[in-house]
């Protein structure tokens, strides 16, 4: 026996749907009541056939006349201003001249000629970037951040087919009027052609293990595919540059690109970042995301990383990263930001990490001199670090093993310990980098202890020419400046440095050989420190001058390093220096006195008196002071002007230039204005008088 129901109903959609949900047909499909929402007036013609002995075989034939309705399924954007006719049966729906507003544009569906056992319907429409941005602003932070850089509209058309096995939707897209100011590879100008396609299939439970699947592409650069099984487990892949492999579960992202600028992407995402309401923010899986990238040229931290290969897996909020590149190799774990680690954390070990000038297209001499950068890098951008690098190189410096342990909290990066270990030295640095959120000013404070095993090798690793051989000792001090650790602002440099070296040899150096000594305040010394003592005294040294010790103390204020306690002990003489070095301007204003060391024998004393120290211009620049200049047992020099081309002025015992022709130059350049004469102990004597007109 069959119960037949025929009727017509008119009224508001919610009340009529309530009747449908309570019927045997609705009870068999609980997802209808859970997900379907319709508002507005409806005109319904309904036919039901319900077998009394088996309600599962209920048949329905419902005809809906839509009159400016709104319909929505779950969280999918709604169909608004919905008009037309819809027929609903126990198998598939049918559409007749259905139109609506959807995704910020219009959509139309109409019947198409059937094929075999399929019912076909055409679909055409367009969508708006503005609508998508507004819709996702209440759903997903990440999607909205990306859409904030997009504008324009896209058109689509295709065919929807229904059969007993399921449904199939084939769509083609035209994105000519779509624009994106996102970095490459998503950058696109409006008007440039871009077409795509999407295939979406749903299946009856008995015909396929998946409930639905999809695949699609945009141009020949962007690809996607995915599937949802009967247990609502989602797996999908997104490919850039080539299709990505479909994972067994979760998400797989594949990237193949000639170039990718991570810095540009970071700035883009930060400038477009939004916050979705907590109540509507869709939860994202924190496990099962895989990323595989092969990038020929990756730009990150203003450096170019060639042939960069990355394999990454997200598991329980931790990214397990495996990196291979000629400049970087190793494995690390990146933990995403949390309450305890607001900037995230990186822990692990790198076998290799190299930074070099050829990686940095933005590097310029002017930026290196001033320490000024346009980067918006702040302490908050650096994760907490617990990292070991077995082979670390920075520019020319081969630093060896580097261990760093730091903690980043809000606006503060605390360097608990930075250790550098290599055959030339063992350095330990502690300190902090802070940001004042009110003023935006940054400050770096460091305390360093450098145990020097071979000063010559240290300098050779930082400079093109070896300017010193050997040398053991220590460099300790504290420094601070008002900028980041990576780009010191030398004009705000303050602190104290103490140097002690023993048993080394000073070699001849050119004007650019010892640039690394700028910050160490030894630059000027090594420009004149080659004592090539020759003449009647004999060839005392052949390659350079051996020193027994070098000690110095520097007080630095606003980038100017002052010393009155710099002493170098040689076999032939004691060299004392006092004055100041202007690090930002790369100039010096120094006075150097040479106190000869004479053998106790009468023969050596007489020999020295006859032919005193010569060759001191090699010690101060590019020329030699002849043996007629200095008839006393000590010699004084002023070294002033730039590091590259210093003015070297030999002085007499009254502190006046030995060469009177230099007076005009001195007056023009304002030299001889600062320094006093060092004593033999290294302390300054009374200031020298300026030359009179």
DSSP per position, 601-652:
SHHHHHHHHHS----HHHHHSSS---TTT--SS-EEEEEEEESSSEEEEEE-
DSSP lists the bridge partners of residue 299 as 261, 304
pLDDT surpassing 90 at residue 259: yes
For residues 679 and 576, the answer to whether their CB atoms sit within 8 Å is: yes
For residues 598 and 573, the answer to whether their CB atoms sit within 8 Å is: no
**d(Cα 358, Cα 395) in Å, to the nearest integer?**
9
Can you spell out the DSSP letters for 63-82?
EEEEEEEEEEETTSPPEEEE
| pTM > 0.95 | no
DSSP lists the bridge partners of residue 504 as 470, 547
pLDDT at 463 (0 to 100): 67
Strand, helix or coil at 14? helix
Report, as an integer, the average pLDDT of 145-171: 91
Give the residue carrying structure tokens 């004084």.
Answer: 636
Ordered by start, the domain boundaries in the chain are 1-102, 115-300, 442-687
pLDDT band per the 50, 70, 90 thresholds, residue 512: very low
CA dihedral (25, 26, 27, 29) in degrees, to 10, reads 100
**d(Cα 414, Cα 220) in Å, to the nearest integer?**
47
Residue count of the chain, please give it. 693
pLDDT band per the 50, 70, 90 thresholds, residue 408: very high
pLDDT at 622 (0 to 100): 30
**d(Cα 393, Cα 326) in Å, to the nearest integer?**
12
pLDDT band per the 50, 70, 90 thresholds, residue 351: very high
**d(Cα 525, Cα 677) in Å, to the nearest integer?**
16
pLDDT at 359 (0 to 100): 62
Q: How would you label 287-322 residue by residue, b for 16+ Cβ within 10 Å and e otherwise?
A: ebbbbbbbbeebbbebbbbeebebebbbeeebbebe
**d(Cα 330, Cα 350) in Å, to the nearest integer?**
4
Q: Which residues contact 515 (CB under 8 A, 6 or more apart)?
A: 462, 463, 523, 643
Give the residue carrying structure tokens 């304002």.
Answer: 670
**d(Cα 145, Cα 274) in Å, to the nearest integer?**
6
Strand, helix or coil at 437? coil
Lowest mean pLDDT across 161-165, 444-448, 651-655: 651-655
**d(Cα 408, Cα 416) in Å, to the nearest integer?**
10
Phi-psi region of 459 (alpha: psi -120 to 50; beta: other; left: phi over 0): alpha
Report, as an integer, the average pLDDT of 143-151: 86
Strand, helix or coil at 674? coil
**d(Cα 560, Cα 381) in Å, to the nearest integer?**
31
pLDDT > 70 fraction of the chain, expressed in percent and rounded = 76
pLDDT at 660 (0 to 100): 63
**d(Cα 252, Cα 624) in Å, to the nearest integer?**
71
Looking only at the bridges linking them, the beta strands covering 287-300 and 250-261 are parallel
State CA 46 to chain mean position distance: 63
DSSP lists the bridge partners of residue 85 as 65, 96
**d(Cα 133, Cα 139) in Å, to the nearest integer?**
10
pLDDT surpassing 80 at residue 543: no
**d(Cα 177, Cα 179) in Å, to the nearest integer?**
7
**d(Cα 42, Cα 69) in Å, to the nearest integer?**
8
pLDDT > 90 fraction of the chain, expressed in percent and rounded = 39
> Bigger pLDDT: 623 or 284?
284
**d(Cα 557, Cα 227) in Å, to the nearest integer?**
65
pLDDT surpassing 90 at residue 81: yes
pLDDT surpassing 70 at residue 609: no
Looking only at the bridges linking them, the beta strands covering 287-300 and 303-315 are antiparallel
pLDDT band per the 50, 70, 90 thresholds, residue 360: low
Maximum mean pLDDT: which of 200-214, 285-299, 631-645 = 285-299
Give the residue carrying structure tokens 């070699």.
Answer: 507
For residues 380 and 343, the answer to whether their CB atoms sit within 8 Å is: yes
pLDDT band per the 50, 70, 90 thresholds, residue 683: low
Can you spell out the DSSP letters for 501-558?
EEEEEEE---TTTTTTHHHHT-HHHHHH------STT----SSEEEEEEEEEEEEEET
- Each residue's pLDDT tens digit, 188-197: 999 999 999 9
The closest of 86, 101, 94, 4 to 47, measured between CA atoms, is: 4
Could you tell me the two tokens for 220? 């020949």
Q: Which residues contact 606 (CB under 8 A, 6 or more apart)?
A: none
For residues 383 and 414, the answer to whether their CB atoms sit within 8 Å is: no
Report, as an integer, the average pLDDT of 438-453: 94
**d(Cα 568, Cα 501) in Å, to the nearest integer?**
9
Q: What is the 3-state secondary structure (H, E, C) of 339-382?
A: CCCCCCEEEEEEEEEEECHHHCCCCCHHHHHHCCCCCCCCHHHC
DSSP-assigned letter for residue 336: P
pLDDT at 280 (0 to 100): 46
């Amino acid at each position: 026996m069959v119960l037949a129901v025929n009727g017509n109903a008119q009224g508001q959609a919610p009340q009529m749907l309530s009747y449908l949900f309570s019927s045997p047909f609705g009870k068999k499909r609980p997802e209808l009541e859970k997900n379907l929402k319709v508002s507005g007036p409806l005109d319904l013609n309904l036919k039901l056939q319900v077998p009394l002995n088996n309600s599962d075989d209920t048949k329905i034939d419902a005809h809906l006349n839509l009159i400016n309705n709104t319909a929505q399924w779950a969280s999918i954007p709604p169909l608004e201003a919905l008009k037309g006719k819809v027929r609903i049966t126990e198998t598939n729906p049918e559409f007749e001249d259905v139109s609506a507003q959807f995704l910020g544009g219009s959509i139309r569906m109409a019947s198409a000629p059937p094929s075999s056992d399929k019912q076909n319907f055409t679909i055409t429409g367009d969508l708006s970037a503005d609508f998508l941005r507004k819709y996702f602003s209440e759903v997903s932070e990440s999607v909205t951040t990306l859409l904030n850089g997009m504008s324009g509209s896209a058109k689509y058309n295709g065919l929807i087919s229904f059969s007993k096995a399921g449904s199939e939707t084939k769509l083609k897209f035209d994105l000519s009027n779509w624009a994106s100011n996102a970095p490459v590879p998503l950058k696109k100008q409006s008007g440039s052609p871009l077409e795509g396609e999407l295939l979406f299939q749903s299946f009856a439970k008995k015909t396929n293990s998946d409930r639905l699947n999809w695949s699609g592409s945009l141009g020949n650069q962007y690809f996607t595919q995915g599937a949802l099984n009967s247990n609502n487990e989602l797996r999908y892949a997104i490919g850039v540059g080539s299709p990505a492999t479909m994972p067994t579960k979760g998400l797989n992202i594949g990237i193949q690109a000639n170039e990718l600028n991570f810095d540009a992407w970071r700035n883009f995402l930060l400038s477009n970042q939004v916050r979705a309401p907590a109540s509507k923010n869709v939860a994202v899986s924190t496990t099962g995301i895989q990323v595989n990238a092969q990038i020929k040229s990756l730009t990150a931290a203003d450096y170019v990383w060639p042939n960069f290969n990355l394999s990454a897996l997200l598991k329980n909020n931790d990214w397990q990263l495996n990196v291979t590149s000629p400049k970087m190799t190793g494995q690390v774990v990146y933990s995403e930001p949390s309450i305890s680690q607001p900037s995230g954390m990186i822990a692990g070990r790198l076998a290799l990490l190299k930074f070099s000038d050829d990686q940095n297209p933005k590097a310029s001499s002017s930026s290196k001199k001033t320490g000024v950068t346009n980067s918006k890098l702040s302490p908050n951008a650096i994760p907490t670090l617990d990292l070991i690098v077995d082979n670390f190189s920075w520019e020319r410096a081969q630093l060896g093993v580097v261990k760093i342990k730091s903690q980043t909290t809000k606006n503060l990066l605390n360097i608990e310990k930075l250790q550098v270990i290599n055959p030339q030295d063992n350095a330990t640095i502690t300190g902090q980098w802070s940001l004042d959120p009110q003023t935006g000013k940054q400050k770096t404070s460091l305390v360093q202890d450098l145990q020097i095993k071979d000063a010559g090798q240290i300098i050779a690793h930082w400079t093109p020419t070896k300017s010193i051989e050997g040398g053991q000792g220590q460099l300790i001090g504290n420094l601070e400046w008002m900028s980041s650790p990576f780009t010191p602002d030398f004009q705000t440099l303050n602190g104290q440095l103490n140097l002690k070296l023993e048993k080394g040899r000073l070699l001849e150096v050119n004007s650019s050989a010892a640039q690394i000594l700028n910050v160490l305040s030894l630059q000027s010394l090594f420009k004149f420190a080659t004592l090539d003592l020759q003449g009647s005294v004999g060839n005392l040294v052949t390659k350079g001058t051996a020193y027994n010790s070098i000690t110095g103390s520097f007080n630095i204020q606003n980038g100017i390093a002052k010393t009155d306690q710099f002493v170098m002990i040689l076999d032939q003489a004691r060299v004392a220096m006092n004055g100041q070095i202007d690090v930002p301007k790369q100039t010096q204003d120094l006075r150097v006195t040479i106190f000869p060391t004479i053998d106790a024998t009468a023969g050596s004393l007489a020999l020295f008196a006859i032919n005193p120290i010569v060759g001191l211009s090699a010690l101060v620049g590019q020329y030699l002071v002849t043996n007629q200049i200095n008839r006393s047992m000590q010699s004084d020099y002023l070294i002033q002007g730039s590091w590259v081309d210093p003015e070297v002025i030999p002085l007499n015992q009254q502190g006046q230039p030995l060469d009177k022709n230099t007076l005009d130059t001195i007056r023009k350049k304002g030299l001889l204005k600062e320094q006093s004469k060092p004593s033999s102990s290294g302390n300054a004597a009374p200031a020298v008088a300026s030359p009179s007109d």
